[in-house]
Amino acid sequence: MAKETEKPGKAPVPLYTKIGWIMAWVLMLGLLGMIMRNCATSVIYGLQTDQQEVESFYQSGLEAGSAGQGENLRGKAVENSVLRKAYIKGYRTGLDQRR
């Protein structure tokens, strides 16, 4: 006779399957946390960064790209994603103008 809690014809879920589900959920939550942190820092840096400073980094990237120099990111641009993006955008534009 089958127990009342078990459904007839269905085997219980194996332990390794349950562990796999838990590991998949942990991985998904970790990725979600990293994405949310990245979005939050982008918003924070976007609000705190002065537009003149962004333009300055764009111009320095444009000059470096036009001169054919390698990317030379300064201290602030390494931390601030908005400044890094402006510098790289200017650098690529400078490389395109050089060609």
pLDDT at 68: 78
In a 3-state reduction of DSSP, which class is residue 81? Answer: helix
pLDDT at 97: 83
Q: Which amino acid is at 83?
A: L
For residue 78, name the pLDDT band (cuts at 50, 70, 90): confident
CA atoms within 13 A on the CB side of 41: 10
In 3D space, the residue among 82, 34, 27 whose CA is nearest the CA of residue 56 turns out to be 82
76 or 50, which is more confident?
Answer: 50
Is pTM beyond 0.85? Reply is no
Instruction: Look at phi and psi of residue 89 and say left if phi exceeds 0, alpha if psi is from -120 to 50, else beta.
Output: alpha
Window from 23-32, 70-79, 85-94 with minimum mean pLDDT: 70-79
Taking the domains of the chain in order of start, what are their residue ranges? 12-48, 50-99
Q: Is the pLDDT of residue 99 over 60?
A: yes
pLDDT at 96: 84
pLDDT at 95: 84
